[in-house]
Amino acid sequence: MRLAQGIVIDKEKTFGLLKFSALRREVFLQNEDGTVSSEVKERTYDLKSREQGRMIQVSIPASVPLKEFDYNAEVELINPVADTVANATFRGADVDWYIKADDLILKEKAVTSAGNTQKAALNKDK
């Protein structure tokens, strides 16, 4: 089976609440001679996933600025996709799963109904 576009993920059902932990690593491009360049290809972040009950790693393209959120800040993935890499072995293949996303952003806090009521009262007085 070939997953050219990866598997699109339902964020809430798959990950639940996500909290930022840290930058895990940066992956660098290779020069034509095979040496590592100084240009970053992607960054992988550690996120705590309530639904998974563990830390997950998510890769974000280097075109997105470096994320330096507070530890345990609630975050949201933009367009997450699960994909695989397979390596042939003597007995078949080893398959590794990974998660990529277009971006990682701070999750917006829902405005409380009390806050909405307060805003409505202020606007009414004007």
Q: Give all domains of the chain, ordered by start, each with its CATH number.
A: 7-125 (2.40.50.390)
- Which two tokens mark 27? 């992956």
How does pLDDT run across 66-77, given as a tens digit for each residue? 999 999 999 999
What pTM did the predictor assign? 0.75
Lowest-confidence pick of 2-6, 104-108, 113-117: 113-117
Distance between alpha carbon 21 and the CA centroid of its chain, in Å? 11
CA-to-CA distance for 45 and 57, rounded, in angstroms?
Answer: 5
Angle at alpha carbon of residue 6, lines to 64 and 36, rounded to 5°: 50
| H or E stretch at 43 | strand 36-49
The proportion of the chain whose per-residue pLDDT surpasses 70, expressed as a percent, equals 81
